[in-house]
Amino acid sequence: MNCKNYDAITFDVYGTLIDWEPAILADLRRWIEAEGAAMDDAALLDGFDRARAHYQSLSPARPYPRVLRSAFAYIADELGLEVNPEEQIRFGISVGDWQPYPDSIDALARLRERYVLGALTNMDDASFAKSHALLGNCFDVIVTAETAGAYKPSLRHFVLGLTILAARKIPPQRVLHVAQSLRADVRPANLLGQDVVWIDREGRGLGHSGFGAELAEPMATFATMESFVSKFLE
C-alpha cells in the first residue's frame, strides 16, 4: 500500500468516521427499558442491522430517516411492543446527534492536504449534511443513496463516485476506498477490482455480517483512522 499510488481516497462514513453504534444503542435501550422490555446490546444491534438491510432492499430510494423509523417499528414488533410515535420520530432524526470518532477529523485533514476525498454513503442528502459539517466539510465528492438511487452494497455508489473522479482526471486505479463495512463496502470494492482498506474499530460490528461479508478481502486492516493515516503517509 504505497501512498504515491493514489490521487483520491473515498470513504464509507458511518462506522468508519462517525461512531453511530453507541448512539443507536442508547436510543433504542432507553425506549425498550421504559417499556419494560429487555434485549442485550448484541441482539439489539443485530435486530437493527437486519431491519435496516431489509428496508433498504425493499426501497432503494427510501430516505434514511424513514429507514430508521421502519427499523424502530421492526424492533418493536420483535419485542411485542407498541410503537411509541414520539420515540420513533426522535430516532428517525437522530443522525445529527451521531458524533465522529475522536481521530476522524484530524485524520481527514491530514489526508486532504494530499488527496481528493470522497464520501460514498447510504445516507440521504439532508441527513448527511449534518454529519459532513461535524467532519469539517472535508469531502470534495459526495455520493449519497439519494444521489445514487440505491443503497450499498449496490455498486451504483462506487461506479458513480469513480465516474465523477474520472471526470477530474483521476482514473479508478488511482482511487483507494476506506471502509468499516465488510458487507456494504469492502466486498463491492473487491468486485470492482478497487483497492480497499478495512477500518476494524474495536467493539463495533455493524456491517461485519450479512450477504457477501464473508467474501470480503481488504488489502490491509487497521483498528483506527489514526493508525491507518500514520502508516499510509509514512
Enzyme catalytic residues: 12
* 55/158 Cα distance (integer angstroms): 21
CB 1 within 8 A of CB 222: no
Joined together, the cell numbers standing for residue 204 give 463495533
* 35/124 Cα distance (integer angstroms): 30
How does DSSP assign 15-69, residue by residue? TTTB-HHHHHHHHHHHHHHHTT----HHHHHHHHHHHHHHHHHH-TT--HHHHHH
Q: Which residues, in sequence order, are CB contacts of 1 under 8 Å at separation 6+? A: 195, 197, 219, 220, 231, 232
Residue 35's CB is within 10 A of a number of other CB atoms, namely 15
- From 171, 120, 1, 144, select the one nearest 67 (Cα to Cα): 144
Looking at the chain, the number of H-run helices and the number of E-run strands are: 10, 6
Joined together, the cell numbers standing for residue 152 give 450499498
Beta strands in the chain (DSSP E): 8-11, 116-120, 141-143, 175-179, 195-199, 220-222
Joined together, the cell numbers standing for residue 195 give 483497492
